[in-house]
Structure 1
Amino acid sequence: MNTMTDTAALAAALPDTAAAPSFRDELLAAGLLIDTGENGLYGRSQVFEDVVDRLNVAITHLGADQQPEVLRFPPAMRRTDFEDSEYLKSFPNLAGTIHSFCGNEMGHRRLLSALDDAMAERGDERGEAWMAQQKPTRVVLTPAACYPVYPVIARRGPLPADGRTIDVLSYCFRHEPSLDPGRMQMFRQREYVRLGSAEQVTAFRQMWVERGSLLVTLLQLPVEVDLANDPFFGRGGKIIADSQRALALKFELLIPLANADSKTACLSFNYHMDHFGAIWKIECADGALAHTGCVGFGMERITLALFRHHGLDVNAWPDEVRALLWGDTQARVAHGMQAAQAATRAQLAGDGA
Structure 2
Amino acid sequence: MRNPVKAITTAASVLALAFGANAALATEATQASAGKLSNGSEVTAVTLTAGNGVSATILTFGATLWKLNAPDRDGKTADVLVAYDKLSDFETRPNFWGATIGRYGNRIADGKFTLDGKTYQLPGNDHGQSLHGGGKGFDVQNWKLESVKSGKVATAVFSLVSPDGDSGYPGTVKAKVTYSLDESGNLQIVFDATTDKPTVLNMTNHAIFNMAGEGSERDAMTNVLTLPASKYTPVNEKLIPTGELRAVEGTPFDFRNGKPVAVGLRDGNDQQIVYGRGFDHNFALDKGQTKTPELAARLEDPVSGRVLELLTTEPGVQFYSGNFLDGTFIGKQGHLYRMGDGIALEPQKFPDSPNHANFPSTRVDPGKPYRHVMIYRVTTSPR
TM-score of the two chains, using structure 2 as the length reference: 0.24
Name the one with the larger strand percent: 2
Structure possessing the higher radius of gyration over alpha carbons: 1
TM-score of the two chains, using structure 1 as the length reference: 0.25
